[in-house]
C-alpha cells in the first residue's frame, strides 16, 4: 500500500491530466520507456512506472530492444521518439543490458532535453547546476527526495544539509537541488574520513552511497530528517529468498534519533516513480503552452520585395530555404517518416498516412482557370500565392500539392515551371530538374515494359511451344517451379494448376503464347526530352532481330501511363495492382495483353517503390509543398498525386487547408480532377479557385492570338474587349455544376487598369461566383493574396454539395456526350469509325465502366483552338479512343494530340549555364 504522501501526488497529477483532456479533447500526455535487454530488476521498475502512468491517465509506451541491439539501434529509436509529438517525455531504462558496447552517456545525451523527464542529459544537469530550476528537468530520485522533505513541513532554507554519495543520478543533482533551495550543503562520499562527524551536523540527511547500512543510527543528529535512497540486498535466512532489502542507513537505530526517516523498501522508490509521472505531466503542459493542438509551430521566411520584380531565378536564389528536416518537423512528420535528399527536399514515407489515418482531414481546395492564352494565366503562381497567404499571413496550417514539371519544357520552349515572381517553390532549379528521380524511375519502368513487349514477340516467333516453356519455367537443381506472377497468368487462363509437369500441350500453348498482334501495340518508349525525330521510328533493324522490325515511336515520359498510375495510386499495393493491369496490346484473338501477362509487374513495382513517396519542398515564404507526379493534362488527368493530397490533408488537421492545382482550364483539369481523381481518392473538394486574367478575357473578347510580340497591343486594348465575358461565365458554371463554391482570383498584371480589374470582379460575382478578388501575389508574395485567402476561408465554411457529372455504369458514348455537352457546350458528338471500333472493343473487354479522360486542346472550350469565348452548337469529333486501364480511364482523342514535343529554333538551353565556381544554375528562368 502506497504512503499517503505518494497518493496525494498521484491524485494531484490525475486531476491535472483530466483538466488537460477537458481543455484539449483528444490530447493525452505521453511517456515512452526504452529498454535494452531483459533484466528482471529493470522489468520490475518498468512495470511499476507503467502501472502508475495508467492510473494517472498518461499514455505509456514500452519499447523493448533485444540485448543484441547496437548503439546505432538505440540512437535510431531515440531519434524517432525525439520527433514524436505524441511523446512528451521518455526515459532510457538503465543499465543498458546489451551484448554490444554502448556508451551510456552518449545515449542519455541523445534524448531531447525537452523530453528528458529523467533529467540525466548534460543540458538538464548543466541547467540544474546553474540554478535554472524552472527551465530543466530534475532527476526523479532527487526530485522525489525534495518532495518528501517538503511534505514534512520543514523549511529547507537555512538548514545544514549533508548528501552522502556523488553519483550523477542522485548525489550530485541532490546537492545542487538543496543548494538552490537555500540550504548549506556538504557532499560526502566513501573517501570522506570524517563521515560520522559530518553526518552528525546534518539537519537534513540524504544518503545514496550504495552500501548496506553504512550510516549508523548513532551518527544522526537528533531530530534530523533522513532520506534513505539505498537499495541493498543482505543475507537473511528467515526469508524464503535467503536475503532481504535494506537501505544505506541502519534503520532500526536511526529511527530512534530522526524526526522523520524514509523506510526501505517503500520510501523513496515509489516517490521517484511519482516524480517521473509529474515530470511527464509538466512536459505535456509545456508542450501545450508552446504548441496549440492542431496548429503548427512554423517559421516563415520574410520576403524582401523589389520593384521592378527581378527574374524568377534571382528571387529563388536570394531566399535561403529552411533545412527540409526542419520543415518536416514543423508539419508534424516523424524523423523515420522522412527520407532526406540533400538539404532542400525529402521523400515522405507512406507510413505517415497509416499513422495519421484516424485524424480528420482539412479543407480541400482546387485551383483551376479559365481557358488560357498560350502564355498561361498564372495558376501555379496563384496556388503558391494562396498557400503563402493562408500560412505566412493568416497563420493557418496549409499545404500546396503540385505536379512535378517535365524536363522537356525546361530545356525546350517554356523554360520550366514552379510558380513565378514572389510565389515559387524553391529551390527552382532542383524543382525543375531531377528532383528525387521520380521521372527517371518512370522512364526506366516504362521502357522495361516496351522491351518486354518486343522481346516476347521475337521469342514467340522464333521458338516452339516446348522451347518457350522450358525457358519460361526453367529447371533449377532438377526442379521446375512457377513464379507467383506466372501462377496469376495460369489462373487468368482458367488453369488451376501449380505443378509445371501437369500442364497439357494445349495449356502449355495458352500459357507461353501471348500472341500479340503488333498492329495493336499501344505501349511506346519514353524519354523526358523534347525530340521531334522520335515521333515515328522503325525498330528491329539489327540483323540479330532477324527481320522482325516494326514502326514505333517515343513519347515524353510524363505522358506514360505509369505516370498516371503513380498519380492515382493510394498506396504501394494499389500501385502494384494498377501496374499489373496496364494493357500494352491485344492478342490476335482480340484479348487484352497486360503487364502481368508479360511477367513484369513485380519488376515495375521495384523500380517505382521510391517514386511512390511524395516529395517535400517549400515555398519562398517557408510554407510546405508536396511535389508529386506530373501526368499530362491532355491525354491523362493532369493532377498531382492522390497520396500527396491524402497525407497533406491529415497533416494540416481539421481546420487546415490543402491547395492543389489542376492542369489547364477548368474544362480539362478541373473536370478530370472531379470525375477521375476525386472518384478514385474518395476525397471531396470544398472550394474551387478559378484564375482569370484581363489578358485572357481580351483574347476571348475577339482580340488576336496572344504571343509575346502581340503583348504590347493587348495592354493597349480597351474595356470593350472584355464584353465577351462568356468564357469566364461558362467556367464558373462548370465548377458550380459539381456543387462546389467558386472563388475567382483575378490575377493582376502591372499593365491592367483598375477599371478593367474591377469590371472582371463585378462580372464574376454576377455570374454566380461566391466571391471574386483582385490578386497581386506575383509582385507581393503571400501579402498580395491575403484577400483571396480570406475569401477561400469564407467559402470553405459554406456547404459543398459535391457530385459527379456522370455514373460509371453509363455506356462509353453517353459519358463522352455528357462531358461534351455539359462542360464544353457542344450540341453533340461524332464518333469516327476508328473510335466506334474502340468503343465496341473496350466494352467487350470489360473496360466500359471506366471514367472518361478527354484529350483535347486546352486553348478552347471546343476542339478548335481558334474558337474563343464560349462557343456553342458545334459537333465534337472523336477520332479515336484509347485505354489506360492500369491508371483507370479511357481517353477519347479530340483532334491530334502530340505526345512528344519538339525543340524550337532557339531552345531555352541556349541561356542555361552553370557557374562552376559557385555551383549556381543560371538562365533557367
Known catalytic residues?
49
* Structural contact between residues 575 and 588, judged by C-beta atoms closer than 8 angstroms: no
Q: Which three-class secondary structure string do you get for 206-232?
A: EECCCCCCCECHHHCCCCCEEEECCCE
Q: Is-contact 119 85, C-beta < 8 A?
A: no
- Residue keyed to cell 514524436: 84
> 259 and 223 in contact (C-beta within 8 Å)?
yes
**Using CA atoms, how far apart are residues 529 and 440, in angstroms rounded to an integer?**
11
Q: Is the dihedral of CA 888, 644, 647, 801 positive or negative?
A: negative
CA dist 138 → 149, 398, 610 (Å): 16, 38, 44
Q: To 10 degrees, what angle do helices 379-388 and 786-796 make? A: 80
Cell digits for 159? 538548514
CA dist., res. 247 & res. 230, Å (int): 4
Helix (H/G/I), strand (E/B), else coil: 848 = coil
Q: Can you tell me the distance from the alpha carbon of 421 to that of 440, in angstroms, rounded to the nearest whole number?
A: 28
d(Cα 703, Cα 893) in Å, to the nearest integer? 28
Distance CA(473)–CA(923), nearest Å, equals: 54
Q: Which of 416, 321, 393 is nearest to 624 (CA)?
A: 321
DSSP letter assigned to residue 571: S
d(CA 524, CA 557): 10
| Burial state string for 98-113 with b = 16 or more CB within 10 A and e = fewer than 16 | beeebeeeebbbbbbb
d(CA 735, CA 207): 76
Measured between alpha carbons, how far is 459 from 451 in angstroms, rounded to an integer?
A: 12
Of all helices (H) and strands (E), which one includes residue 713? helix 711-716
622 Cβ neighbours under 8 A, 6+ residues apart: 298, 299, 300, 301, 321, 322, 327, 391, 392
CB within 8 A of 112, min separation 6: which ones? 82
Q: Which of 379, 427, 434 is nearest to 410 (CA)?
A: 434
- Upstream peptide bond of 105 is cis (omega within 30 degrees of 0): no
Q: What is the spatial distance between Cα 729 and Cα 666, in angstroms, rounded to a whole number?
A: 11
DSSP states of 344-386: S-EEE-THHHHHTTTSPP-EEEEEEESSPPTT---HHHHHHHH
Q: Which residues pair with 659 in a beta bridge?
A: 365, 400
Q: Is 431 exposed, middle or buried (0-12, 13-18, 19+ CB in 10 A)?
A: buried
Nearest Cα to Cα of residue 421 among 317, 319, 315, 320: 315
**Is the backbone peptide bond immediately before 171 cis, with ω within 30 degrees of 0?**
no
* 234 three-state secondary structure: strand
Give the chain's radius of gyration (CA, Å). 35
User: Is there a contact between 250 and 289 (Cβ–Cβ < 8 Å)?
Assistant: no
The candidate with the shortest Cα–Cα distance to 664, out of 629, 697, 639, is 639
Rounded Cα distance, 369 and 372, in Å: 7
Give 878's DSSP letter: E
**Closest Cα partner for 681 from 667, 655, 651, 660?**
660
Amino acid at each position: 500500500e502506497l504512503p499517503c504522501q505518494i497518493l496525494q501526488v498521484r491524485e494531484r497529477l490525475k486531476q491535472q491530466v483530466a483538466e488537460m483532456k477537458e481543455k484539449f479533447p483528444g490530447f493525452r500526455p505521453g511517456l515512452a520507456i526504452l529498454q535494452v535487454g531483459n533484466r528482471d530488476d529493470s522489468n520490475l521498475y518498468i512495470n511499476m512506472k507503467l502501472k502508475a502512468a495508467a492510473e494517472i491517465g498518461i499514455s505509456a509506451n514500452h519499447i523493448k530492444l533485444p540485448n543484441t541491439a547496437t548503439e546505432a539501434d538505440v540512437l535510431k529509436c531515440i531519434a524517432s521518439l525525439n520527433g514524436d509529438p505524441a511523446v512528451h517525455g521518455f526515459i532510457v531504462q538503465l543499465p543498458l543490458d546489451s551484448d554490444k558496447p554502448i556508451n551510456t552517456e552518449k545515449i542519455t545525451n541523445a534524448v531531447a532535453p525537452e523530453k528528458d523527464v529523467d533529467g540525466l542529459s548534460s543540458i538538464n544537469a548543466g541547467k540544474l547546476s546553474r540554478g535554472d530550476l524552472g527551465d530543466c528537468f530534475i532527476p526523479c530520485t532527487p526530485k522525489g527526495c525534495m518532495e518528501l522533505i517538503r511534505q514534512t513541513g520543514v523549511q529547507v532554507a537555512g538548514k545544514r544539509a549533508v548528501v552522502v554519495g556523488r553519483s550523477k543520478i542522485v548525489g550530485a543533482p541532490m546537492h545542487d537541488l538543496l543548494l538552490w533551495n537555500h540550504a548549506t550543503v556538504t557532499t560526502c562520499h566513501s573517501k570522506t574520513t570524517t563521515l560520522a562527524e559530518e553526518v552528525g551536523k546534518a539537519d537534513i540527511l540524504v544518503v545514496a552511497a550504495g552500501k548496506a547500512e553504512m550510516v549508523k543510527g548513532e551518527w544522526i543528529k537528533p531530530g534530523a530528517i533522513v532520506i534513505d535512497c539505498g537499495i541493498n540486498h543482505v543475507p537473511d535466512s528467515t526469508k524464503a529468498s535467503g536475503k532481504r532489502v535494506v537501505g544505506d542507513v541502519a534503520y532500526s537505530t536511526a529511527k530512534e534519533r530522526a524526526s522523520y526517516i524514509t523506510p526501505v523498501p517503500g520510501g523513496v522508490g515509489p516517490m521517484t516513480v511519482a516524480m517521473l509521472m509529474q515530470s511527464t505531466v509538466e512536459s505535456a503542459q509545456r508542450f501545450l503552452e508552446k504548441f496549440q493542438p492542431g496548429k503548427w509551430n512554423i517559421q516563415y521566411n520574410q520576403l524582401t520585395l523589389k520593384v521592378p520584380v527581378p527574374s524568377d531565378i534571382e528571387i529563388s536564389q536570394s531566399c535561403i530555404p529552411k533545412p527540409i528536416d526542419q520543415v518536416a518537423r514543423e508539419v508534424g512528420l516523424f524523423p523515420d517518416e522522412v527520407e532526406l535528399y540533400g538539404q532542400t527536399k525529402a521523400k515522405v514515407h507512406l507510413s505517415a498516412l497509416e499513422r495519421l489515418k484516424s485524424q480528420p482531414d482539412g479543407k480541400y481546395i482546387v485551383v483551376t482557370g479559365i481557358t488560357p492564352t498560350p502564355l498561361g494565366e498564372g495558376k501555379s503562381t496563384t496556388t503558391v500565392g494562396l498557400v503563402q497567404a493562408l500560412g505566412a499571413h493568416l497563420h493557418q496550417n496549409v499545404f500546396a500539392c503540385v505536379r512535378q514539371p517535365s524536363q522537356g519544357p525546361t530545356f525546350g520552349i517554356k523554360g520550366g515551371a514552379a510558380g513565378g515572381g514572389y510565389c515559387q517553390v524553391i529551390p527552382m532549379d532542383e524543382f525543375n530538374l531531377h528532383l528525387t528521380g521520380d521521372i527517371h524511375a518512370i522512364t526506366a519502368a516504362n521502357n522495361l515494359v516496351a522491351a518486354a513487349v518486343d522481346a516476347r514477340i521475337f521469342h514467340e516467333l522464333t521458338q516452339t511451344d516446348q522451347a518457350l516453356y522450358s525457358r519460361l519455367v526453367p529447371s533449377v537443381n532438377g526442379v521446375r517451379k512457377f513464379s507467383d506472377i506466372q501462377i496469376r497468368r495460369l489462373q487468368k487462363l482458367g488453369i488451376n494448376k501449380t505443378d509445371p509437369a501437369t500442364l497439357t500441350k494445349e495449356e502449355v500453348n495458352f500459357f507461353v503464347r501471348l500472341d500479340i498482334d503488333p498492329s495493336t501495340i499501344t505501349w511506346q518508349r519514353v524519354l523526358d526530352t523534347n525530340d521531334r525525330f522520335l515521333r515515328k521510328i522503325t525498330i528491329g533493324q539489327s540483323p540479330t532481330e532477324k527481320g522482325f522490325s516494326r514502326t514505333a515511336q517515343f513519347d515524353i515520359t510524363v505522358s506514360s501511363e505509369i505516370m498516371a498510375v503513380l498519380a492515382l495510386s493510394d498506396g504501394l499495393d494499389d500501385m502494384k495492382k494498377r501496374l499489373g493491369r496496364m494493357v500494352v496490346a491485344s492478342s490476335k484473338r482480340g484479348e487484352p495483353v497486360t503487364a502481368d501477362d508479360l511477367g513484369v509487374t513485380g519488376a515495375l513495382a521495384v523500380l517505382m517503390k521510391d517514386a511512390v513517396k511524395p516529395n517535400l519542398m517549400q515555398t519562398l515564404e517557408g510554407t510546405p509543398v508536396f511535389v508529386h507526379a506530373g501526368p499530362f493534362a491532355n491525354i491523362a488527368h493532369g493532377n498531382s498525386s492522390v497520396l500527396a493530397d491524402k497525407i497533406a490533408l491529415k497533416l494540416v488537421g481539421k481546420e487546415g487547408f490543402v491547395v492543389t492545382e489542376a492542369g489547364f482550364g477548368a474544362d480539362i483539369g478541373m473536370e478530370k480532377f472531379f470525375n477521375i481523381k476525386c472518384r478514385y481518392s474518395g476525397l471531396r473538394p470544398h472550394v474551387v479557385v478559378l484564375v482569370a486574367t484581363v489578358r485572357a478575357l481580351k483574347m476571348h473578347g475577339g482580340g488576336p492570338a496572344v504571343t509575346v510580340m502581340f503583348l504590347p497591343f493587348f495592354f493597349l486594348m480597351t474595356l470593350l474587349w472584355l464584353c465577351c465575358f462568356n468564357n469566364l461565365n461558362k467556367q464558373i458554371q462548370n465548377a458550380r455544376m459539381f456543387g462546389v463554391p467558386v472563388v475567382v482570383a483575378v490575377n493582376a498584371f502591372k499593365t491592367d487598369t483598375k477599371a478593367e480589374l474591377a469590371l472582371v470582379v463585378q462580372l464574376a460575382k454576377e455570374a454566380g461566383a461566391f466571391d471574386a478578388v483582385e490578386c497581386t501575389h506575383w509582385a507581393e508574395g503571400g501579402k498580395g493574396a491575403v484577400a483571396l485567402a480570406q475569401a477561400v476561408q469564407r467559402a470553405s465554411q459554406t456547404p459543398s454539395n459535391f457530385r459527379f457529372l456522370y455514373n460509371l455504369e453509363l455506356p462509353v458514348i453517353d459519358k463522352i456526350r455528357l462531358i461534351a455537352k455539359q462542360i464544353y457546350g457542344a450540341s453533340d458528338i461524332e464518333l469516327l469509325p476508328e473510335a466506334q471500333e474502340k468503343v465496341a472493343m473496350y466494352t467487350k473487354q470489360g473496360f466500359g465502366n471506366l471514367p472518361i479522360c478527354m484529350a483535347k486542346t486546352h486553348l478552347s472550350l471546343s476542339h478548335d483552338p481558334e474558337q474563343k469565348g464560349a462557343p456553342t452548337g458545334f459537333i465534337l469529333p472523336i477520332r479515336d479512343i484509347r485505354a489506360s486501364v492500369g491508371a483507370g480511364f479511357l481517353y477519347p482523342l479530340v483532334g491530334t494530340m502530340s505526345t512528344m514535343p519538339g525543340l524550337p529554333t532557339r531552345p531555352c538551353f541556349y541561356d542555361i549555364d552553370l557557374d562552376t565556381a559557385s555551383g549556381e544554375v543560371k538562365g533557367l528562368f
